Structure 1
Amino acid sequence: MSDSKLRFSDRVENYVRYRPGYPVEAIDFLYERLGFGDAGLIADIGAGTGIFTKLLLDRGSSVVAVEPNPDMRRAAEASLSSYERYRSTDGSAEETTLPDDAVDGIVSAQAFHWFDIPLAKREFGRILKPGGYTALVWNRRLTDTGDFAVEYDALLKRYGRDYEKVNHKNLRHEHFVSFFKEGAYEKAVFRHRQPYDLEGLKGRTLSSSYCPLPGEANYEPLMAALDELFDRASQDGYIAFEYETEVFYGQV
């Protein structure tokens, strides 16, 4: 989409506060299976506010975070600038600004569905050293794990702007075949869970680019519906989102 690089600018605070992290098992997998522990430099493409970048830095990796959205990039820089092995750059998946053969591994979390796939493939191949792996990662919110999950998803479909159009679940096998070298890729899946109180539920919802913001037509009805759903579904003041963290990996 033409606005994909800017559409989170008015959601940065909620994104930082309420977006989920990633399970330790998924990070272990990158280091134990894909050799990220031996990588000299990892590129985090579409790094956003630095949620995944921090996990790599905490493992001792050197990371260059590539992010085109200035508001999200500044938020990441504010929280990660104390890491000596961190640097960020104003670039995109299609034009990273990095030199040829610059990185030993690439990760992209919650971002690949926004990319121009043919251009990103060419760019990843240019900056990645021979033999390096690319990992595409998503927290896929499960929509069929119970009444709350089903009803919450129905609210997004009812009140969201373009929920079904921009959902990363629209990616299919053929998209990954076209991206990875010789169409060869593998997939690993890990379970993840994130609890929220009512404030957190609303913040998590508003962090999504398809949800209406204050002043827009569907904002008040959506917030009222979340109040009602939380009252019915919460236990001890919390509900939980259940995720499958998906890692698609291979060479490009």
Structure 2
Amino acid sequence: MKTTENFTEKADIYAKYRPHYPIKYINYLFSANKLKEDQIVADIGSGTGIFSLQMLEKGLNVMGVEPNDDMRKLAEQSLKRFSRYTSIKATAENTTLEGESIDLVTVAQAFHWFDKKAFKIESQRILKQKANVALVWNSRDLTNPIIKEIAEICQKTCPNFKGFSGGMEESPEMFNCFFKEGKYEFKKYQNDLKYDYEGFLGRNLSASYAPKENDKEYKRFVFLLSELFERYSENGNIVLQNITRSYLGNV
């Protein structure tokens, strides 16, 4: 399966249960990049539009570039009220955007799917001079016991599991290669996530590697997660320690 198809049939659950990004991070993006209303952001791998929405609410023009039909169509439906939103069926490596037309490239929760070298070249082509690329993930705190147990469940039941966010936290050298002269600004924000049972299950089922309902490991996956929820939840809720990681720089 091509990586562009990893979330086919998962768009609805992804949109419903994936978290937004901290307001502190959004404000940081604006100040660090000296953004003003009406400037143009290219949100690459924009998915169901979770991050695009936060940019649109700040008055920016957003070009949402997404190759997956299910994800893109859901974004188009949910963001159609914004006249400043443009949906584009294209890939990170070939965005079809005009050269030197973009004030900021953003990639939320998607960089690990890209061909890094090809995306770097494409970013250099579409960005205005001295404009930045912002990479961001909502990533699980791997030191947390609950997160460790979820990883163990995924290893047992998800054949395509290679670590959360494609193992992004384990390969920081990719950022040194991607950003110009290996220079970038790293920021992190505590962004703990509170879920009831439905939300907890939905968040885990929205992962690209999670089994779908007709897969043989689906019932075992759900059972083990349900058991974990019962052990750790308090008053019907569970808190997952989450860190928003930001990487910003020239390419």
Q: What is the TM-score of this pair, normalised by structure 1?
A: 0.95
Match of 1:148 in 2: 146
- Matched residue SS, 1:125: helix
Cα distance in 2 between the residues matched to 1:19 and 1:43: 20
Query: For the structure 1 residues 128 and 39, does the alpha-carbon distance in structure 2 shift closer, same or farther, using more than 3 Å as the test?
Result: farther
- Which consecutive unaligned segments of at least 5 residues does structure 2 have? none
- Matched residue SS, 1:132: strand
The alpha-carbon deviation at position 64 of structure 1 amounts to 0.6
Cα distance in 2 between the residues matched to 1:247 and 1:174: 15
- Matched residue SS, 1:36: coil
Q: Is the 8 A contact 1:9 1:72 kept in 2?
A: yes
- Matched residue SS, 1:37: coil
Aligned length: 250
Match of 2:122 in 1: 123
The alignment-based identity, stated in percent, is 38
The alpha-carbon deviation at position 241 of structure 1 amounts to 1.7
Cα distance in 1 between the residues matched to 2:91 and 2:12: 21
Report the AA paired with residue 244 of structure 1. Answer: I
- Matched residue SS, 2:236: coil
- Which consecutive unaligned segments of at least 5 residues does structure 1 have? none
String of CA shifts for 1:90-124, please: whole Å, max 9, x gaps: 11110001011111111100010001011000000
Q: Which of these residues, 156, 159, 163, is aligned with residue 158 of structure 1?
A: 156
Q: What is the TM-score of this pair, normalised by structure 2?
A: 0.95
Cα distance in 2 between the residues matched to 1:173 and 1:213: 30
Question: How does 1:20-35 map onto structure 2 within 5 Å?
Answer: 20-35=19-34
Question: How does 1:223-242 map onto structure 2 within 5 Å?
Answer: 223-242=222-241
Match of 1:198 in 2: 197
Structure 1 stretches of at least 4 aligned residues deviating more than 3 Å after TM superposition: none
Query: For the structure 1 residues 135 and 167, does the alpha-carbon distance in structure 2 shift closer, same or farther, using more than 3 Å as the test?
Result: same
The alpha-carbon deviation at position 169 of structure 1 amounts to 2.2
Q: Is the 8 A contact 2:21 2:138 kept in 1?
A: yes
- Matched residue SS, 1:76: helix
Q: Is the 8 A contact 1:113 1:171 kept in 2?
A: no
